[in-house]
């Protein structure tokens, strides 16, 4: 009998696992020893080696011990195995997708840390939170100063969808203004006045009517270092047109607005 059975240490060495792992498998009821010695030592037979090999094989495929114990080892048909393997494949593919997204977020965050040029854990946490949300506008948050980020928290903290709606409005109006510039639309035309009204309303939606934020937005627009490159290029090309357009709009509306650059 001693020649046919292995001690826990012998089995562990043969299969490349630790004794502690085999003890845990015994405790969880996934791999019980076939016998015990007179001194109470666990002894394993050839069938236990086969079962352990099965367990380790399915662990390699990403199955948990609970799944192996309760769903795989009790299987009776190939069809049942195929069904479980399909489920596992989908789960692994989802994990891969999540890891790829995490890798992309790390790359984006690394780039932003380089651009910030200083250690700012408050800003880091805010950027990471936006990345977790899959928010394409996180670069805006990174470029805003504390006054503007605090304003966003107060105005949009309870309604992230409203912040996203405002950002999307900016993107739409930016594209519209860009087309105006490309086709040579006069800044004082009727079409331009309609655009100016929409642009100004967007600014009012963002600021909540707080005009003291305008100088901050002006500074944000002046320095496009950390902007999304494509948006920075578009905004740069429309800045002069938008300044003239808004100036015409304010005069027609009889509005006394301090001179400023285009805000977004």
Q: Which of 62, 89, 105 is the last residue of a domain?
A: 62
Is residue 43 in a domain?
yes
Q: Which of 62, 80, 108 is the last residue of a domain?
A: 62
Could you give the 3-state DSSP secondary structure of residue 169? helix
Q: Which of 62, 81, 107 is the last residue of a domain?
A: 62
In the prediction, which pLDDT does 239 show?
A: 95
| CATH code assigned at 41 | 1.10.1660.10
| Share above pLDDT 90 across residues of the chain, in percent, rounded to a whole number | 53
Is residue 129 in a domain?
no
Which is nearest to 45 in space by CA: 3, 87, 75, 9?
Answer: 3
Residue 239: both structure tokens together: 């800045």
Counting the structural domains of the chain, the total is 2
Task: Give the integer Cα–Cα distance in Å for 231 and 120.
Answer: 25
pTM of the model: 0.53
What is the tens place of the pLDDT at every residue in 110-136?
Answer: 877 777 777 888 777 777 766 765 666
Is residue 89 in a domain?
no
Is residue 93 in a domain?
no
In which domain, by residue range, is 203 found? 145-253
Q: Please name the residues in contact with 176: beta carbons below 8 A apart, sequence gap of 6 or more.
A: 195
Could you give the 3-state DSSP secondary structure of residue 254? coil
């Amino acid at each position: 009998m001693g020649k046919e059975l292995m001690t826990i240490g012998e089995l562990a060495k043969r299969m490349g696992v630790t004794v502690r792992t085999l003890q845990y498998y015994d405790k969880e009821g996934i791999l019980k020893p076939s016998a015990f010695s007179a001194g109470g030592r666990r002894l394993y037979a050839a069938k236990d080696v086969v079962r352990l090999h099965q367990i380790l094989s399915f662990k390699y495929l990403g199955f948990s011990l609970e799944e192996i114990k309760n769903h795989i080892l009790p299987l009776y048909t190939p069809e049942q195995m195929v069904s479980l393997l399909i489920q596992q494949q989908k789960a692994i593919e989802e994990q891969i997708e999540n890891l790829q997204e995490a890798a992309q977020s790390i790359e984006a965050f690394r780039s932003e840390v380089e651009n910030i040029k200083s250690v700012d854990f408050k800003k880091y946490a805010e950027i990471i939170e936006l990345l977790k949300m899959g928010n394409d506008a996180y670069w805006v948050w990174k470029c805003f100063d504390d006054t503007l980020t605090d304003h966003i928290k107060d105005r949009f903290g309870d309604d992230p969808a409203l912040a996203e709606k405002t950002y999307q409005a900016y993107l739409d109006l930016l594209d519209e203004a860009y087309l105006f510039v490309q086709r040579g639309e006069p800044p004082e035309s009727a079409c331009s006045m309609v655009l100016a009204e929409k642009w100004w309303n967007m600014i009012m939606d963002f600021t909540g009517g707080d005009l003291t934020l305008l100088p901050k937005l002006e500074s944000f627009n002046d320095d496009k270092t950390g902007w999304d490159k494509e948006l920075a290029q578009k905004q740069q090309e429309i800045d002069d047109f938008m300044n003239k357009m808004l100036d015409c709009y304010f005069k027609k509306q009889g509005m006394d607005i301090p001179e400023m650059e285009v805000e977004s």
